[in-house]
Chain A
Amino acid sequence: MTPMNSSLDLDPIAAEALRDVFTTRFERHLVPVSLDEIPEAPGDAPWLISTVNLEGSQARGSVHLQVSESLMDLLNMSLGDCSNDPSERESERADLAGELCNMVAGRIGTSLAAAGHLFTLSTPDVYRGRALETGTDADKWGSRTGWTCAGGTLTLKISIQ
């Protein structure tokens, strides 16, 4: 097992997980962007932010996925009929954001397990809010990457303490 103080570059793991999920499920391609190009809020609406916690025997962490409502609407439409009811649509957006984070976190968990770090994943939590903050000094390993997809932007953040 790799010792916890070894270096682990999470950026390529994050990129592979995100690309895998978006290509396999939605046949959409992601393009990396500078985090400076991602606004505090996407237009008038807040970001949808979903979180999956990682629990391991030697470390714990979290995976956060920040997406816009418009991108969730676009991806939802590609899955088939969407509800016309506004509250139901809001629920569909949040559910999709949570499931995306669940799939991405699953892929990240698999990559971390291959590197010798085993984590159990929580079910996703979704909330609406301002842009994700940068990592803290408490992070042993961290990654924060920005992406565009079909005109929308998203941010993936991984923190492991």
Chain B
Amino acid sequence: MTSCPPKILTVDDSKTVRRILAGLFVPLGCVICEAANGEQGLAVAALEKPDLIILDYNMPVMDGLTMLQRLREDAAMRHTPVILLTAEAGAKNIAAAARLGARDYIVKPFQDEVLLAKVARIITLGPRSTIQAANEQPEASEGPLPTP
């Protein structure tokens, strides 16, 4: 029996960050789809139905929190897990993400191993991530957000 590869939607206005994320997850057997802002992200999410969304906080056109709110209002996508990427580790941002049901958050610049460990808690990745997720502990300052 074969299973579909996990599909991850990366939403970030920086192509550099989308490149980093694709370089991290494509070798692990993931299918990556991309968007450059929240508005595009909603459209791509509706079309592609990703297993996980990695969402930047601060973006033009529509920011990450607004996109997250819209996702939660959409019956078809309200349960899609989201990890928020943020350059600011402020308590206000993190609390807002938790309120809107983000599964986790990670602060830029992130260590690849920490992100892999967080993603591996949500979707099944290829063998490399399994080894890394087992060996790596997430940073003490970052952790899963409480279920709303």
Listed in ascending order, the chain A residues whose CB lies under 8 Å from chain B are: 20-21, 24-25, 76, 79-80, 91-92, 95-96, 98-99, 102-103, 105-107, 109-110, 113, 118, 121-123
Distance (whole angstroms) from the CB of A50 to the closest CB of chain B: 11
* Interface 9-mer from B10-18, B43-51, B124-132: B10-18
Given A92-B16, A123-B58: A25 and B109 interface contact (C-beta under 8 Å): yes
| CB-contact partner of B90 in A79, A80, A109, A122, under 8 A | A109
Tell me the complex Cα distance, A105–B88, Å.
8
19 pairs across A/B with beta carbons < 8 Å?
A24-B109, A25-B109, A79-B16, A79-B19, A79-B20, A91-B15, A95-B15, A98-B14, A99-B14, A103-B87, A103-B109, A106-B87, A106-B88, A106-B107, A107-B87, A109-B88, A110-B89, A121-B87, A123-B59
Distance (whole angstroms) from the CB of B24 to the closest CB of chain A: 10
Distance (whole angstroms) from the CB of A92 to the closest CB of chain B: 7
| Contact residues of B between 59 and 91, Cβ < 8 Å to A | 59-60, 86-90
Tell me the complex Cα distance, A24–B90, Å.
19
Tell me the complex Cα distance, A110–B92, Å.
11
Band of interface residues on B: 20 to 34
| CB-contact partner of B108 in A76, A92, A98, A102, under 8 A | A102
Q: Are A95 and B90 neighbours in the complex by a CB distance under 8 Å?
A: no
Q: How many A-B residue pairs have CB under 8 A?
A: 59
Tell me the complex Cα distance, A80–B16, Å.
10
Q: Are A21 and B109 neighbours in the complex by a CB distance under 8 Å?
A: yes
Q: Are A96 and B16 neighbours in the complex by a CB distance under 8 Å?
A: yes
Find chain B residues with CB under 8 A from A80 CB.
Answer: 19, 23
Find chain A residues with CB under 8 A from B86 CB.
Answer: 106
Find chain B residues with CB under 8 A from A24 CB.
Answer: 109-111
Distance (whole angstroms) from the CB of B15 to the closest CB of chain A: 5
Q: Are A110 and B14 neighbours in the complex by a CB distance under 8 Å?
A: no
Q: Are B108 and A103 neighbours in the complex by a CB distance under 8 Å?
A: yes
Find chain A residues with CB under 8 A from B59 CB.
Answer: 123
